[in-house]
Amino acid sequence: MNFTTIEGGVCAPQGFSAAGIHCGIRHNHAKPDLALIKADVRCAGAGCYTTNKVYGAPITVDREHLADGYAQAILVNSGNANTCAPGGVELARETCRLAAQALGVDENDVLPASTGVIGQAMSIAPFASGIPACAAQLAHSAQGSLNAAFAIMTTDTHPKQVAVEFTLGGKTCRMGAIAKGSGMIHPNMATMLLFITTDAAVEPAVLQKALSTVVPATFNQISVDGDTSTNDTVMLLASGLAGNAPVAADSEDYHTFVAALTQVAETLCRELAGDGEGATKLLECIVTGAPTLQIARDVSRSVIHSTLFKAAMFGADANWGRVLCAIGYTPGDFSIDKTSVRLKSAAGEVLVCENAAHHIFSEEEAAKILKESEIQILVDLGCGDATAKAWGCDLTYDYVKINGDYRT
């Protein structure tokens, strides 16, 4: 299914407004650092979080506040991760209390999120003044969503948002999202921070099922640098204001909803991977002919995660042996004997490996293909019918420069 792409980000669905401002968490006054997303009504909510054993204080609070399956607002700061910091959980709870007062909602219906430097103390003072100021700028508009998208950025080079329109039970529904992520991106999950809104009516358990279905096939399939963030968070709020009958699990409407959610997720996967720190190229590995879905996913991730292959892509070097090497160390019981590898971009396509062996090709043609900004690595294992995708980026000198002085 393909759905109509529309403007508006998280504000495209009915009943959602957003804002983003600078409140003083960052020293650079030119960079906004506080975002709010508010729903007009209490929403069904779902969330997925980092698997890192070290995780941000906001995630503790999010799990508490989403225990009943409902929420009404999301509060996000950038510039400080509120992870391994003194009093972090209590500070996250206090920010929820401040947001509740400013928005007129229950503090248990506020979901906090943070991103930035790990291990640094954070003061409540910027929130105390910033939350009311941010609430005053809430707008149900494309600009409101864009302002929020800017406010959650760290090393991102541009804001990331998307919105789509689809139909459930004869009613027009919308789904929008904003995301940030550039470094510390590696399964599981690989989103850094991502917030999705929809006006479709979906009960909490069904909403969580849908999100938990989509995350493994999308956000868990991104790798920029092999570091799993402490703060990775995906949140999904459903207002129900579109007026459709509540989506039942495994119904036709459920599959349509999951398809729309998948389109939103895949769009942002490409945005996140393509904006990896220092990246010049988006890499997409599509694996076909795998014996199982898990093997297809694991193989595509292995290729995308290979440091040697990522470096080769930066240099436009068709070193297909690095692809085979990555496939070979992927866990699972499968044969590589019939494996083929193609490299594809807007400049053309070239077969570089057939039956797990060299296939004669033009190095000049391959280099031309690999100089494009988006490259597909097409792997056919030839031993089944399962398929999967993964997304990543090339490894450049600038990645080291950015992370060599990240705190300064």
- Specify the CATH number for the domain of residue 104: 3.60.70.12
Q: What is the total count of domains within the chain?
A: 2
Q: Are residues 311 and 232 in the same domain?
A: no
Give residue 56's pLDDT.
84
**Which residues belong to the active site?**
191
Domain closes at, from 223, 249, 272: 272
Nearest in space to 301 (alpha carbons), one of 183, 397, 395, 217: 217
Q: Are residues 119 and 154 in the same domain?
A: yes
Q: Are residues 114 and 198 in the same domain?
A: yes
Write out the H or E segment, with its range, that includes residue 81.
Answer: none
CATH of the domain at 308: 3.10.20.340
Tell me how far CA of residue 2 lies from CA of 190, 229, 255, 256, 372, in angstroms.
Answer: 24, 31, 13, 10, 26
What burial letters (b/e) apply to 127-137, b meaning 16+ CB within 10 Å? beebbeebbeb
Domain closes at, from 225, 241, 272: 272
Q: Residue 339 belongs to what domain range? A: 282-404
Q: Are residues 203 and 325 in the same domain?
A: no
- pTM given for the model: 0.88
291-326, pLDDT tens digit by residue?
999 999 999 999 999 999 999 999 999 999 999 999
Strand 386-393 versus strand 222-223 pairing type: parallel
Q: Are residues 256 and 146 in the same domain?
A: yes
With beta carbons less than 8 A apart as the criterion, state whether 76 and 195 touch.
Answer: yes
Q: Are residues 266 and 339 in the same domain?
A: no
* Lookup: tokens for 215: 């995350």
Q: Are residues 96 and 60 in the same domain?
A: yes
* pLDDT surpassing 80 at residue 54: no
* pLDDT surpassing 90 at residue 339: yes
Q: Are residues 394 and 331 in the same domain?
A: yes
Q: Are residues 250 and 353 in the same domain?
A: no
* Lookup: tokens for 66: 């989403």
Q: Are residues 180 and 233 in the same domain?
A: yes
Q: From edge to edge, which strands make up the β-sheet containing 222-223?
A: 222-223, 386-393, 282-290, 374-380, 340-345, 348-354, 357-358
Environment class of 97 (CB within 10 Å of its CB; exposed 0-12, middle 13-18, buried 19+): middle
10-24, 155-169, 198-212, 376-390: which has the minimum mean pLDDT?
155-169
Q: Is residue 254 part of a domain?
A: yes
Q: Is residue 320 part of a domain?
A: yes
Q: Are residues 264 and 345 in the same domain?
A: no
262-298, pLDDT tens digit by residue?
999 999 988 888 777 778 999 999 999 999 999 999 9
The alpha carbon of 2 is separated from its chain's Cα centroid by a whole number of angstroms, namely 20
Domain closes at, from 272, 295, 330: 272
* pLDDT surpassing 70 at residue 55: yes
Q: Is residue 136 part of a domain?
A: yes
